Structure 1
Amino acid sequence: MKKINRYILVISLFISGFTTAQNVEFKRSNFKDNVEEFKEATDAIDKGVPLFEEGSVAIFEVKDPKLAFKKALVQFKIAQKLNAENALNNFRIGVCYIHSSTPYKAISYLEKAYALDPECDPFLYYYHGNAMQLEEKFDEALVSYKKFEENYRKSDNFNKFVSMRKLECGYAKKYKAEPVRCWVDNVKTLNTEFDEIAPTITTDGSEIIFSSNRPNSNKPNEVGEYDHDIYTSLNEMGTWKKVKAIPGSVNSPLDDIVNNLSYDGTKMLMHKDNEGQIDIYETVLNGANWGTPEIMHFQISTKRTNDMYASYNHDGYNIYFARGNENLSKGTNIMYSGMQSMLKKDYKTATTINQVNSQFNDGPIYMHIDGKTMYIASQGHESIGGYDIFVSKKIQGGWSKPENMGYPINTPYDDFFFAATANGKYAYISSNRPNGAGGFDIYKVTFWGAQKQPIVDMEDYLLASIAEPIKDPQIEEVVSVNKVSLTVFKGKTIDALSSKAVEAAIEITDNKSGKIIERFTTNSATGKFLLSLTAGKNYGIAVKADGYLFHSENFDVLDGSAYNLINKTIELKNIAVGSKIALRNIFFDVGQATLRSESNAELDRLVKLLKDVPSLKVEISGHTDNTGSSSINDKLSQNRADAVVVYLKGKGISAGRLSAKGYGSSKPMESNNNSQGRQENRRTEFEIIEN
């Protein structure tokens, strides 16, 4: 009988809605035949209101409401089942959704509350303005904001929110009128009905790492949500493959939020939320697995405040991050701290970057590999609503005023986190805009014009969001967006016979100065490595691994050559009799046998190898191309081999361990029919003849 009476009530309310909207109060007299359900509904409202007020206070103080609105929403939905025609309950549900990862669900509730009784709560005009703003009805939003101001006369912290919302509507109309030339595509293979946030990508664009609160093996919280874990996906021929939990001991029962990968892909910053205390951690890649995260230095993770959203600077010394301001209602601020000693890993006192901070939450941060560009998500500045992504440039030691990256990258919804590929043709963001898989999703931004491009990428993709990358194992030119000379050198070290990965030490030398500018170790599981190089130099690369001959080569990165990718597989040879290697960083003047000073670094590595393995006996051989007469080439190659032997003997290597032989053009490695082949054939080699 109760169900029949409730059905009659709902029908009568529905019919009345066709004439004039009627607000139905939660009074017992309105639910005489539903006493038990009425009590359940009003009890739920009584439980929900304190939680609702707790969340509202946090929002007004620019703090995280945590679970307050989510727990309140559970209660208000119980009441909504009994009475969907109450303005105040619809208002409260709408506000709870506004401050969730699905704010688009708020619109219908706030519009209904507004239709039933716009005076049901002093803040309804304000939140109705929010709903209109989300629907991009900016003029209607302004009407509601102005009505709110007319009725809300208090002089408190909330006034800045109303002022900001009004400004957002103006900025939104401005940026919508001149949209950015780009596509913004939902990356469906990565997203679920749950939240996917914090995308970060390897410098070569081959792997994406992100966080999600999709179901995992941990226990859900009191509103049924799982903690965030970190996931990864590999890109194969332009397509993101199956998402997997990140390997290793990174994920925990806490919220694990990835922040930023180092540019070589061997380290990762993240933050963990431990019952409201948020700290920044670092994890290091060891082979195929990521190690247990270690909390960052106390200047970065203070324990007094919440610290999050950290990003490596290109130099490896500075860390940029966001810190909560516990004393002032200004949300999180962008800070940075520089390392004093690479060995001690101690940091200087963190400094606020006033030029990029607003009165609202600022962060996450992404520092571009060029060292001059900072991408910031912020609720302030010239936001068009929620979090927007901004860009700031380093000029004369300071940072420029953050500039909104424009529509449709930014919307009235929350658009935050940013990870750019190196040539600026692609970026990945997280957004809770509607029509996605649900909650926050990961989106790919594809820039297709000269305007508003972020910087540079490694690989020149076809200009379509579904296109496959064009790859070449040699030097690849990348579309130049900015005249910043940068080359990315990536590759892997493998056994020449088995093709299995070899962990190797690599030294990069500026051949002109003889200085070693980079030392690193390739991944033990994959042999992979990646680093960036400045243009305008001739580089020597030396690769060493236990039990293998060292490998070397050199190449020029021309000044003004903009962005290049060098993709190299380095095959290492065992120290066995018969193994030989070309010494690519030994230089002679044309037609001469006098060693140039640029050869010293390479020769000294050979000296070290011979001293480290005293049983080795080697033959130094000289080779030429087929240009000129055979007799001249034979003599020149012999003289060059002799010059190397003289150098080695001068460094203390016994003459009995060395022999020199000039082969002229008799043993070509490549065809002599083109200039590249002839260059490969002009070389100095050593071969192990006894061990």
Structure 2
Amino acid sequence: MPFLNRLLLLLLCASATLPAAAQSVAFTKDNFSNDKDGLREANRELKAGDDDYRDDPPRYAQALQHFLAAQLFNPNNAALNVKIGDCYLNSATKTAALPYLQKAAKLDATADARTHYLLARALHLSAKWREAMAEYQLAPPVASNTRNGDAGTITPNDLQRRMQECRNGQQLMAHPTRVFIDNAGPELNSPASDYGPVVSADESTILITSRREGSTGGKKDPAGDGYFEDIYQSTWKGKVWSRATNLGAPVNTDDHNATVGLAPDGQRMLVYVGTNGGDLLETTLSGSTWNKPRRLNSRINTNAHETSASYSPDGRYLYFVSDRPGGAGGSDIYKVDLAGKNTPVSLGPAINTAYGEEGAFMAPDGKTLYFSSEGHNSMGGYDIFKSVLENGKWSTPENLGWPINTPDDDVFFVTSASGRHGYYSSERPGGLGAKDIYRITFLGPEKQPLLSEEDQLLASRLAPIKQTVLAPAVAVATAQVTILKGTVTDDATKQPVDAAIDLIDNTSGQTIANFRSNATSGRYLVSLPSGTNYGIVVRQDGYLFHSENFDLPAGAAFAEVVKDIPLKKLEIGTTIVLRNIFFDTGKATLRPESTAELERLQKLLTETPALKLEMAGHTDDVGEAAMNQDLSQRRAQAVVSYLTQHGIAAARLTAMGYGESKPEVPNTSKGNRQLNRRTEFKVTAK
């Protein structure tokens, strides 16, 4: 038989099995008279699916399995395809809804009043902006009914809002953000859902929430999204993360446990639990072990839903999300002083909208807030925004743009202190599970290239977007913050010391934050936003205090400083440099910024009555030696005079000026000369 005839015969046979004009086929005996048993089983699946689908709340995962079984028997029922599409729209794989809803619209768009709207949603989530807007225009409003799905009630305002989101998406997609988005790899991600990353300021530690096999309680979620949530931890190994390990008890329990926020130093973590509508707990790190989480107070946790939170860099304030009464609409972002007694304060209309806000994260610079919102100029669902606090006012929130944001929910974004990298979870092609952790690398400003190349940037849940990426890519570091980190040890034994670390504003003399080094490792990390003259004091019982100074002018760019601190015990002959004693150039008058350091020295002498000290002044080698000798003597005497005026017996103190004769380091650079210009004390009796 000639090929054309064979092809015609095949088409005729195929058409005999399909309904005319692509009509919807009902599950009736008239349509399936030759397979009554199959019809009976399909109707059983339909009924079971409808029971789950119409429950309150709907059990979409269970309903979907029944509906798919029925669809295998009869793939051409419009109402069934709508239900399958709706189930997928309420699952972790939303874009799988599109072919079912497209088929439903072709079979019979009137079979369900929500068909055009649900098809528009599927097109919207696939970033098919124009096609989605066309379907939204065809979608009628739907009055309130018993449905609790993606479209229980559809108002004219809902339709207008969705169309505006599509217009926002078109604009943002036309000007993509210059980023690389990389899957964090199998060390962090699993075949299950992984999300909610929180990272220490120096990017050395990350904690995530996962529904993977091996959870603490071993329970599967009845909603069908894997196992109950557990928290996992990983450390950066230079090029990749270590394999994430389950924190186990007491942080993880038989119930859901999810990461919410991490202090910049990685020593405190906020945890979400689903009890009481949703509450926030805090756990602290003792050595290498996380302690049992404790519930935050009633100013934060209410009968409402508290879902996410973030510490300020100094640990004094908490930014958190709640849907408590009195908000702007949906969930709002609030700020509360952890040490005070005042009620939380809303961040106001610049941040909070009539829709939902979620995933608040205060960056280590102390002024840049990242958060997700369904409002502002979202392209659909929650988009990630940033706003900067300047002169007490929040700037207009800026959408982080495509391809970071997608038409679906993009939530729980965090950054490193440098601002070079961000972390969040997303559902993208090529992922290892339903949701994966991704690392975003922000690129420098575009330059005229000598050579350009086409590269693939991950863009959506369906397909990558092509964008010209200049070679080589230059990371941008715009964060105005300094990370100070290192280890605190015993100067003699070199063993780690669990020490208190005070952060002082030298201008005001106020202690603005308190931290501790890790008891097991001695490691510490302090985030220092630019614009302040900081005094850093490290202290522990049985040791002399150690001080450092960081004067960071406003606008100072990101830097990471490693400073190991050996604490010295109170022994005769021990010498301690006072880094926060300040004089004007060429003068011996103590500046006001010296007050906090002088008060610490006074306290040390008061608490140790037998202690005697030699106050020593030192200079660099600039200028004549005799002048330097005289200046150093007068400066040492100025410290002694302050102490005697504040109750310390003169017999316990001597002043010695050494000029340029005892440099700490060679006077070969500006930085070295600054180190050599110092005031110190030496223990002469105890």
Instruction: Tell me how far 1:196 sits from its aligned partner.
Output: 2.0
- Between the aligned partners of 2:391 and 2:602, the Cα distance in structure 1 is 45
* Counterparts of residues 187-202 of structure 1 (less than 5 Å): 187-188=184-185, 189-202=187-200
Tell me if structure 2 keeps the 8 A contact 1:306–1:324. Answer: yes
Match of 1:262? 263
3-state secondary structure, aligned to 1:427: strand
One-letter amino acid of the counterpart of residue 228, structure 1: E
TM-score normalised by length of structure 1: 0.80
Aligned-residue offset at 1:503: 1.7
Call closer, same or farther: CA 1:201–1:686 in 2, change over 3 Å: same
Question: Superposition pairs for residues 434-453 of structure 1, below 5 Å?
Answer: 434-450=429-445
Aligned to 1:212: 210
Look up the match of 2:124. 133
1:99 Cα offset (Å): 0.9
Partner of 1:298: 298
Name the counterpart of 2:663.
668
Is 1:174 the equivalent of 2:171? yes
Distance of 1:405 and 1:589 partners within structure 2: 45
Q: Please tell me whether the aligned partners of residues 264 and 530 of structure 1 are also in contact (alpha carbons under 8 angstroms).
A: yes
Instruction: Report the TM-score, using the length of structure 2 for normalisation.
Output: 0.80
Aligned twin of 1:80 = 71
5 Å-filtered alignment, 1:199-598, equals 199-215=197-213, 216-218=215-217, 219-222=219-222, 223=224, 225-237=226-238, 239-246=240-247, 249-274=250-275, 277-303=277-303, 305-313=304-312, 319-324=318-323, 332-339=330-337, 343=339, 346-348=341-343, 351=346, 353-370=348-365, 372-392=367-387, 399=394, 402-450=397-445, 479-480=477-478, 486-533=481-528, 535-587=530-582, 598=593
Tell me how far 1:418 sits from its aligned partner.
1.7
User: Which letter maps to 2:279?
Assistant: D
The residue matched to 2:207 in structure 1 has which SS? strand
Deviation string 1:314-351 (CA, Å, 9 cap, x unpaired) is 675654433347999x9722142534xx55x5341664
In 2, the alpha carbon distance for the partners of 1:465 and 1:431 equals 27
Bigger shift: 399-408 or 621-630?
621-630
For residue 91 of structure 1, what is the aligned residue in structure 2? 82
> Structure 1 pair 178/647, CA: closer, same or farther in 2 (3 Å)?
closer
CA contact (8 A) 1:413 1:432 kept: no
**AA in 2 matched with 1:173:** Q
2:590·2:638 contact (CA, 8 Å) conserved in 1?
Answer: yes
CA distance in 1, matches of 2:433, 2:530: 44
Aligned mates of 1:201, 1:516 — CA distance in 2: 26
| Residues 1:113 and 1:540: Cα distance change in structure 2 (over 3 Å) | same
Whole-Å separation in 2 of the counterparts to 1:595 and 1:361? 53
1:98 is displaced (CA, Å) by: 0.9
- Give 1:49 deviation, angstroms: 1.1
Task: Specify the SS of the correspondent of 1:258.
Answer: strand
For residues 610-649 of structure 1, the C-alpha deviation after alignment (integer angstroms, 9 at most, x for no partner) is: 4434454554444444556766666665665566556555
Query: The residue matched to 2:564 in structure 1 has which SS?
Result: strand
Q: Supply the AA of the counterpart residue of 1:323.
A: S
Deviations 1:456-476 (A, max 9, x none): xxxxxxx9999999xxxxxxx
Q: Percent identity?
A: 38
Query: CA contact under 8 A between 1:379 and 1:386: conserved in structure 2?
Result: yes
Matched residue type, 2:172: Y
Secondary structure at the counterpart of residue 417 of structure 1: coil
Give the CA deviation at 1:608. 2.8
Q: How has the CA–CA distance of structure 1 residues 544 and 237 changed in structure 2, closer, same or farther, with 3 Å as cutoff? A: same
3-state SS in 2 of match to 1:270: strand
Residue type matched to 1:294 in 2?
R
Q: Which AA in structure 2 matches 1:322?
A: V
AA at the equivalent of 1:307: E
SS in 2 for 1:416: coil
- Which AA in structure 1 matches 2:154? F
Residue 591 of structure 1: CA displacement?
6.0
Instruction: Give the CA deviation at 1:94.
Output: 1.8
CA separation of 1:314 and 1:667: change in aligned 2, threshold 3 A: closer
2:115 corresponds to 1:124:
yes
1:631–1:523 CA distance, 2 compared to 1 (3 A)? same
Length, aligned pairs only: 642
155, 158, 161: which one pairs with 2:154?
158
Pick which of 631-640 and 514-523 moved more. 631-640
Q: Check whether the contact 2:365–2:527 (CA below 8 A) recurs between aligned residues.
A: no
For the residues of structure 2 that align with 1:15 and 1:326, how far apart are their CA atoms? 60
Distance in 2 between residues matched to 1:608 and 1:423, nearest whole Å: 37
TM-aligned CA deviation for residue 30 of structure 1:
5.2
Shift of 1:240: 2.7
Q: Distance in 2 between matches of 1:213 and 1:281?
A: 20
Instruction: Name the structure 2 match of 1:6.
Output: none
Report SS of the residue matched to 1:170: helix
* Counterpart secondary structure, 2:331: strand
Distance 1:633 1:54, change over 3 A: same
- Shift of the 320–629 alpha-carbon distance from structure 1 to 2, 3 Å rule, reads closer
1:231 CA drift (Å): 2.2
Output the CA distance in 2 between the equivalents of 1:541 and 1:35: 82
Deviates more, 1:174-183 or 1:594-603: 594-603
**Alpha-carbon distance in 1 for matches of 2:470, 2:439:** 11
Structure 1 distance, partners of 2:326, 2:481, is 43
Q: 69, 75, 82: which one pairs with 2:60?
A: 69
Q: Structure 1 residues 466, 237: CA separation in 2 closer, same or farther (over 3 Å shift)?
A: farther
8 A contact 2:534–2:550 mirrored in 1: yes
Give 1:75's aligned amino acid: H
Contact kept in structure 2, 1:300 and 1:350, CA below 8 Å: no
| CA separation of 1:354 and 1:28: change in aligned 2, threshold 3 A | farther
Does the CA contact (< 8 Å) of 1:185 and 1:465 recur in 2?
Answer: no
Describe the superposition over 1:120-168 as per-residue Cα deviations: whole angstroms up to 9, x where unpaired: 322222222222223333222233333332x968899412433332222
Aligned 8 A contact 2:314 2:512 in 1: no
> How far apart, in 1, do the equivalents of 2:632 and 2:350 lie?
62
Letter in 2 for 1:495: D
Task: Tell me which amino acid in the other structure corresponds to 2:307.
Answer: M
The whole-number CA distance in structure 1 between the counterparts of 2:404 and 2:82 is: 30
Letter in 2 for 1:282: E
Change (3 A) 1:547 1:468: farther
Amino acid across the alignment from 2:69? I
- Separation in 1 of the partners of 2:640 and 2:659? 17
Opposite residue 553 of structure 1, the aligned amino acid is E
Counterparts in 2 of 1:318 and 1:157: CA distance versus 1, 3 Å: farther
Amino acid at match of 1:200: V
3-state SS, counterpart of residue 54 of structure 2? helix
- Residue 678 (structure 2) pairs with residue 679 (structure 1): no
For 1:496, give the aligned amino acid. D
Q: Is the 8 A contact 1:201 1:261 kept in 2?
A: yes
Distance 2:600 2:678 in 1: 17
Cα pair distance change 1:503/1:137, threshold 3 Å: same
Deviations 1:63-112 (A, max 9, x none): xx5x6212212322332344444433332222111111111222233233
1:185 has 2:182 as partner: yes
Instruction: Please report how far the alpha carbon of residue 23 of structure 1 lies from its aligned counterpart in structure 2 after TM superposition.
Output: 4.5
**SS at the partner of 1:502?**
coil
SS in 2 for 1:439: coil
